[in-house]
Structures are given as C-alpha cells and as structure tokens.
Amino acid sequence: MFELNQVGEKSYYINCPAKIGIYRSNDTDVYLVDSGNDKDAGRKVRKILNENGWNLKGIINTHSNADHIGGNKYLQQQTGCKIFADGIEAAFTKYPILEPSFLYGAYPCKDLRHKFLLASESDVKEISDADFPKELEVIPLRGHFFDMIGVRTPDNVVFLADCVSSENTLNKYQISFIYDVAEYLNTLDKVGSMKAAIFVPAHAEATKDIKDLVQINRKKVLEVADKIQSVLTTPMSFEALLKQIFDEYGLLMNFEQYVLIGSTVRSYLSWMKDNKKIEAAFKDNLLIWSSL
C-alpha cells in the first residue's frame, strides 16, 4: 500500500484505498490529484515526494468526499501548496461539515462526525484560478457527487476519480454512492467513449480499456433500480424500503451505511419518479412510494 506507480512520462499514481494521482510538471514540481483520506495518508504522500526530490505545487481535488481530501490540510500546512476544486466541491472542501450534513439531511450526530465523512478544512481555489496548471484537461464527471471532475495529463493519462468502481467492490458493497443517477449514467456514456493511454480510476485497477468496467457499473445501476421498482410493487415508506433493500442485498446497517446508502436510494427514487417509473403519495402523514 502507498506504492508509487509510473503510468506515463510525467504521470504516476500512489496505490492506496483511493488512488492518488501525481503529475510532474517539470523536473521538481508536481501536482497531486486528490490527497488520501487523512493526515496519515498525507504523511505517506509527503515521504514519497521527498524520496523523489519533488516539490508539491498543488493538489487538484476531483471531488470533496473525505477519502479524497483528507490529506489536504496536512500537506498544505507542510508545503504551502495550493488546492484546487470545482464549484460545489470547492465549497464542501472549504467547509467539510457540509458532507455529513448533506448525507444526513440535518446537523450530523457524533456517529457521523468522523474522518471517513468529515475531513479537516483546507484553503481552496477554483479550478479557474490563474495558478491552475493549464496543460491539464479538466473533465466534468458529474453524478457520483455534485461537480466531480477527472483530469487528463499531457501524456494522455486520465484520472477518473470515483465514476467507476471495480467489479469486486460492486460485489462487496452492492450499492455505490450516487448523488444524481441521470448525470451518473451520462458520465458513464462519456467515459465509455473516451480514449487514453491509460485510465486510473480511484477504486479500480489502472487499465488501457475502460469500456468493460463502464458496462459493469451501468449494469449494477440498472439492477438496483429494478430491485427498488420490484420492492415497491408493495407500497411502503422510505424506511421500510431501505430496510428491505439492506435485507435483500445482505447489508448491515449502521450510521455510516444508513446515510450513504439511504442518500443513494433517495437519489434513485428521485430519478425513477421523474421518469414515471414510480409514484409518491402522502397517506396518514407518511410519504408512501409505489411502482407504477
């Protein structure tokens, strides 16, 4: 874990739970693509940079989930590097309490205020900032989160953030976090048609051909939607639906899984309702969902 892998003349990644990209802009200056999940990850990244004689100029955050921005504060304090993010992701990175608050739908209890959902704050610039490395192509990859981006380097390496997961990850967790299902499917279409020397997803192996993995992720999204629609042939409340989804997929509920999977299931409900696959009605002061 935390091994350095070279995938292009100037592009590398650090193999860790959420892969960290490295782009070397010259002999000494480098930019990270994400920073790992916590201060300890930041320390390990800095050790790798020091061993290679690299100076950290900046961090480009693909999105604001805690496992991608957790090393920001430590690395920024130690090196003075700039941090860049796009739109809503910049706001969540600057004010990380927004992530658990958004997931829970209110002020989060202590069970949700931990490093896996609540990173330390960091000073962030928009990707439109003059100091952003202009030779890098920013690729909008919305759907998993609000304004998630990918990055293409001049040597044609594409860092894909969280827009695809490995088949093993999908089989283990069953329901991947999605904020906007329609945008996520659009992103899969976009990624499936991309060409690159190599693709580096954060939660799957680096590969020269991403098409098969895109189809595996699309199939899982449609499977989950079909499962929800099937369950809702019996009208029920959201909490009853969520319990049945957990039971049928053999998942264990705790606070973290409740908000992550619960938020995702709500996103499916919004998408399916907008596409007239299901309907909602208020009965006896309960919101009841049902298939059409």
**pLDDT, tens only, 188-247:** 999 999 999 999 999 999 999 999 999 999 999 999 999 999 999 999 999 999 999 999
Query: What pLDDT score does 155 carry?
Result: 97
pLDDT confidence tier of residue 59, bands split at 50, 70 and 90? very high
- DSSP notation for 56-88: EEEEE-S---HHHHTTHHHHHHHH--EEEE-HH
Query: What pLDDT score does 54 carry?
Result: 98
Residue 60 CA, chain-centre distance (Å), reads 14
Q: Which domains does the chain have, with CATH numbers?
A: 3-221 (3.60.15.10), 227-291 (1.10.10)
- How far apart, in whole angstroms, are the C-alpha atoms of residue 99 and residue 105? 10
| Contact in structure between 46 and 79 (CB atoms under 8 Å) | yes
257: Cα within 13 Å, side-chain hemisphere:
14
Query: What pLDDT score does 246 carry?
Result: 98
Q: Quick one: tokens of 131?
A: 């100091």
Tell me what the mean pLDDT of segment 10-19 comes to: 97
Beta carbons within 8 Å of 259's beta carbon, 6+ residues apart: 100, 103, 104, 108, 112, 117
Overall pTM surpassing 0.95 (yes/no) = yes
Task: For strands 55-60 and 29-33, give the pairing.
Answer: parallel
Query: What pLDDT score does 1 carry?
Result: 87
- CA distances to 16, 33, 62, 148 from 202, in Å: 9, 10, 10, 12
Residue 112 is given by DSSP the state: G
- CA distances to 41, 264, 274, 280 from 66, in Å: 12, 17, 30, 33
Closest CA relative to residue 141, chosen from 166, 170, 162? 162
- CA distances to 65, 75, 138 from 90, in Å: 11, 17, 15
pLDDT confidence tier of residue 80, bands split at 50, 70 and 90? very high
- How far apart, in whole angstroms, are the C-alpha atoms of residue 135 and residue 125? 17
| Contact in structure between 175 and 166 (CB atoms under 8 Å) | no
In angstroms and rounded to an integer, the radius of gyration of the C-alpha atoms of the chain is 20
Query: What pLDDT score does 7 carry?
Result: 98
